[in-house]
């Protein structure tokens, strides 16, 4: 009798109440319907002891049932977790919209929070199956550190862009001065890596956000009004009271001057060869430069008209002429 007939006879002897615990796939394997090599010793054990199948089932069935239960619970937790994460991200986005946060930053932060929550969910599910999540986190941390070292400059600009968009030291349309490079102009665009400035002479300058975030930034446009500080020098022979009255009449006659703000004309400094006078008035931010240029010209014209001398550096050169005979 060949092996297949022996197996068939052995399983016919198995009690009917035990057959229901045997999977269809296992039965077909043993009966020869599926070609699977079986060791002679295992076949002999089944022939001699038909109850061994029940023993195997009683031994491994609890573990199989426990695994299936864990799998079903994990799938349920995964589905619930996905719905919860979507709801949390949706609430966060609404909060960002109410705070009038920049759209790019809001989208970036929402995605970071979403993927972070997904990562926690996956780690929790793996931990439930006995996976050592500590090792997984360590590997991911090492990989992140390597990537961070390789992209150090880009990550610095990225971090600077996030800080600028969050803290908002300036906005699109503001006129700023970069303290580190001295570059100044109107902000045309702010992205996560670079900020674009349009200079007065119509040049587009790209400044890395990493350097811009670390420098001292002067935002000229943040306030709606600005103090105009003018300085002019007169000679020591000038009548100071008269010169101050002429200067005051010129600066206070400006149409763009804000009369509800204080103005002042004063002696600023006694220099080596001149007396420096100062005048301060307040104007709207958009009128600053035109008012400055206009008043500078009008002050010179008024001083010339009233014979007020504006000194300039002079050098006296004395040449002594010696006769040729005196050298002998």
* Model pLDDT for residues 306-324, shown as the tens digit of each residue: 999 888 776 667 777 665 5
CATH class entry, domain 66-149: mainly alpha
Q: With 60 as the cut, is the pLDDT of residue 92 above it?
A: yes
Q: What is the pLDDT of residue 22?
A: 47
Q: Containing H/E element for 192?
A: none
This prediction's pTM: 0.52
Question: Given this structure, which CATH class describes domain 170-219?
Answer: mainly beta
- Which residues of the chain are in CATH 3.30.70.100 domains? 225-305
Average pLDDT value over all residues in the chain: 78
Give residue for tokens 């979403």. 114
Q: What is the per-residue pLDDT for 325?
A: 53
Whether the pLDDT of residue 134 is over 60: the answer is yes
Categorize the per-residue pLDDT at 300 as very low, low, confident or very high, splitting at 50, 70 and 90.
very high
Please give the DSSP secondary-structure letter assigned to residue 129: T
pLDDT at 151: 58
Phi/psi of residue 13, nearest 5 degrees = -85, -15
pLDDT tens, position by position, 208-267: 888 888 888 888 888 889 999 999 999 998 999 999 999 999 999 889 999 888 989 999
Burial 39-67 (b: 16+ CB within 10 A, else e): eeeebeebbeebeebbeebeeeeeeeeee
- Mean pLDDT on 181-210: 88
Q: In the prediction, which pLDDT does 16 show?
A: 47
- What is the assigned CATH class of domain 225-305? alpha beta
Res 317: pLDDT: 72
What percentage of the chain exceeds 90 in pLDDT? 20
Looking only at the bridges linking them, the beta strands covering 217-219 and 204-208 are unpaired
* Ranges in the chain annotated CATH 1.10.287.1260: 66-149
pLDDT value of position 150: 61
d(CA 85, CA 74): 16
Q: What proportion of the chain, given as a percentage, has pLDDT over 70? A: 73
């Amino acid at each position: 009798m060949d092996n297949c007939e022996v197996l068939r006879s052995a399983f016919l002897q198995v009690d009917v109440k035990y057959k229901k615990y045997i999977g269809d796939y296992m039965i077909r394997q043993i009966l020869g319907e599926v070609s699977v090599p079986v060791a002679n010793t295992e076949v002999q054990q089944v022939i001699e002891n038909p109850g061994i199948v029940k023993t195997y089932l009683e031994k491994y069935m609890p573990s199989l049932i426990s695994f299936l239960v864990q799998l079903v619970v994990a799938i349920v937790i995964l589905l619930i977790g996905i719905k919860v994460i979507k709801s949390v991200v949706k609430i966060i986005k609404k909060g960002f919209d109410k705070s009038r946060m920049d759209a790019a930053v809001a989208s970036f932060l929402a995605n970071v929070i979403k993927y972070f929550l997904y990562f926690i969910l996956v780690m929790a599910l793996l931990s439930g199956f006995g996976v050592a999540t500590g090792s997984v986190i360590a590997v991911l941390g090492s990989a992140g550190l390597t990537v961070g070292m390789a992209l150090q400059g880009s990550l610095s600009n990225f971090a600077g862009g996030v800080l600028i968009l969050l803290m908002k030291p300036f906005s699109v349309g503001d006129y700023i001065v970069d303290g580190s490079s001295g570059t100044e102009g109107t902000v045309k665009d702010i992205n996560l890596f670079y900020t674009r400035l349009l200079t007065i002479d119509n040049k587009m300058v790209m400044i890395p956000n990493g350097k811009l975030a670390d420098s001292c930034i002067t935002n000229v446009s943040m306030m709606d009004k600005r103090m105009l500080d003018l300085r002019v020098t007169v000679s020591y022979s000038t009548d100071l009271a008269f010169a101050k009255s002429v200067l005051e009449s010129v600066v206070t006659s400006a149409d763009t001057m804000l009369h509800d703000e204080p103005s002042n004309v004063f002696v600023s400094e006694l220099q080596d060869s001149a007396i420096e006078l100062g005048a301060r008035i307040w104007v709207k931010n958009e009128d600053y430069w035109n008012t400055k240029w206009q008043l500078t010209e009008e002050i010179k014209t008024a001083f010339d008209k009233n014979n007020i001398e504006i000194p300039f550096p002079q050098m006296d050169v004395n040449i002594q002429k010696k006769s040729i005979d005196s050298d002998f």
